[in-house]
């Protein structure tokens, strides 16, 4: 069921009883539509179909989907089947697996398991909010008055509760009254930067412009970018970072041009079982996302297209990783376990 709603203070995801409410991110920036998800299948399918996206929001939704499964089923066999279904929705965001495992482990032996499952999922959401605010405060200390900031994809309030991850320092610096400007990479092929980051920054009144994905080097060479903030979908023990396709090339350009490059992500995004970036699973999506805009073909119909949704930035290109526990050298990230 869908309804239109105008909201000033907004969140990407929340729950009322056993129903999960989300902003349908596929409709932004043109329409603000709220979707109700009433079963674990509906919630898992919303993750798969990217009605919601961004590692943090995916994690919270997955936690709620697991809780809905506890409300729907009672046998371990049924719950494990539901867990696998939720986990098959998107492969890269570590927060998804963090949330399903945590809700499952904490609820399965509880006396009132579905109540415990929803409480645990709520807790994940509230921890994300808290961690986002801490990361925002830490990151904002790196932002000087007059800074021009580059970000890639959408790592804002739509992607993780609170103030987002990469956008958290931006929100805080703006609230502190610093004069800042944000370059938002458009982020082909799904345009999370042009559609979602730009929408968020506009809502917050933060000066910004959308740039083509291949324009960042041009601006760096002109000394028009002072710092880069990106989010992460999965961080390996080595400090290598999986994030939206195109992040790697921004990091290499930043190093070449002497621009500090920071990754902002909560500890729930670190996968301590991943030794290095090569272990991070990369989602490959439909060639249609490259070849079409909506239903309109924009490429030679007979050609194939390759569409990896994420890439891995080696630790050596990353100046620092900001978590709720501090600002770390990438090679030290394994010490957080």
Site of interaction with ligand MRU (CB under 6 A): 53-56, 93, 153, 155, 159-160, 165, 192, 231-233, 243-244, 309
Phi, psi of 228 (to 5 degrees): -120, 135
User: Rounded to the nearest whole angstrom, what is the least distance from the CB of residue 57 to ligand MRU in the complex?
Assistant: 7
Task: Give the contacts of 80 (CB within 8 A, at least 6 positions apart).
Answer: none
* Beta carbons of 131 and 266 less than 8 angstroms apart: yes
Residue least distant from ligand MRU (Cβ): 231
Q: Which is nearer to ligand MRU, 168 or 253 (CB)?
A: 168
Q: Which is nearer to ligand MRU, 60 or 79 (CB)?
A: 60
Q: Which is nearer to ligand MRU, 213 or 233 (CB)?
A: 233
For residue 279, indicate whether it is catalytic: no
User: Rounded to the nearest whole angstrom, what is the least distance from the CB of residue 146 to ligand MRU in the complex?
Assistant: 26
Under DSSP, is residue 218 helix (H, G, I), strand (E, B) or coil? helix
Q: Which is nearer to ligand MRU, 93 or 201 (CB)?
A: 93
State how far the Cα of 264 lies from the Cα of 62, in Å rounded to an integer. 21
State how far the Cα of 206 lies from the Cα of 224, in Å rounded to an integer. 17
User: Rounded to the nearest whole angstrom, what is the least distance from the CB of residue 112 to ligand MRU in the complex?
Assistant: 31
State how far the Cα of 201 lies from the Cα of 182, in Å rounded to an integer. 8
Burial of 177 (0-12, 13-18, 19+ CB in 10 A): exposed
* Max CA separation in the chain (angstroms): 62
Q: Which is nearer to ligand MRU, 68 or 192 (CB)?
A: 192
Q: Which residues pair with 227 in a beta bridge?
A: 149
User: Rounded to the nearest whole angstrom, what is the least distance from the CB of residue 55 to ligand MRU in the complex?
Assistant: 4
Q: Catalytic pick from 233, 240, 271, 311?
A: 233
Determine the length of the chain.
Answer: 337
Starting at the earlier edge strand, list the strands of the sheet with 261-264. Answer: 208-211, 181-185, 148-151, 227-230, 261-264, 320-323, 326-328
User: Rounded to the nearest whole angstrom, what is the least distance from the CB of residue 50 to ligand MRU in the complex?
Assistant: 7
* Residues marked as catalytic: 233
């Amino acid at each position: 069921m869908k309804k239109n709603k105008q909201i000033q203070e907004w969140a990407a995801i929340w729950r009322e009883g056993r129903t999960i409410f989300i902003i349908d991110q596929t409709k932004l920036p043109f329409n603000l539509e709220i979707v109700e998800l009433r079963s674990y299948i509906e919630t898992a399918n919303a993750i798969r179909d990217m009605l919601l996206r961004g590692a943090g929001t995916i994690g919270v939704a997955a936690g709620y989907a697991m809780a809905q499964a506890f409300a729907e089923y009672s046998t371990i066999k049924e719950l494990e089947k539901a867990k696998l279904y939720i986990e098959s929705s998107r492969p890269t965001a570590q927060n998804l697996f963090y949330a399903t495992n945590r809700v499952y482990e904490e609820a399965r032996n509880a006396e009132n398991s579905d109540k415990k499952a929803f409480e645990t999922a709520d807790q994940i959401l509230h921890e994300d909010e808290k961690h986002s605010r801490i990361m925002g405060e830490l990151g904002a200390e790196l932002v000087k008055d007059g800074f021009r900031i580059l970000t890639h994809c959408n790592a804002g309030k739509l992607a993780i509760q609170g103030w987002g991850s990469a956008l958290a320092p931006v929100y805080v610096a703006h609230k502190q009254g610093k004069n800042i400007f944000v370059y938002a990479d458009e982020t082909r092929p799904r345009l999370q930067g042009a559609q979602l980051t730009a929408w968020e920054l506009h809502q917050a009144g933060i000066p910004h412009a959308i740039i083509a994905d291949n324009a960042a080097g041009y601006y760096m060479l002109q000394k028009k970018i002072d710092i880069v903030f990106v989010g992460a979908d999965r961080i390996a023990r080595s400090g290598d970072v999986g994030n939206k396709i195109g992040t790697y090339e921004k990091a290499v350009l930043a190093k070449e041009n002497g621009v500090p490059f920071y990754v902002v992500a909560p500890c729930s995004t670190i996968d301590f079982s991943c030794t290095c970036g090569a272990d991070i699973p990369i989602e490959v999506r439909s060639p249609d996302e490259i070849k079409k805009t909506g239903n309109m073909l924009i490429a030679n119909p007979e050609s194939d297209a390759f569409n990896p949704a994420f890439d891995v930035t080696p630790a050596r290109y990353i100046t620092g990783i900001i978590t709720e526990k501090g600002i770390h050298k990438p090679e030290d990230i394994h010490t957080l376990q």
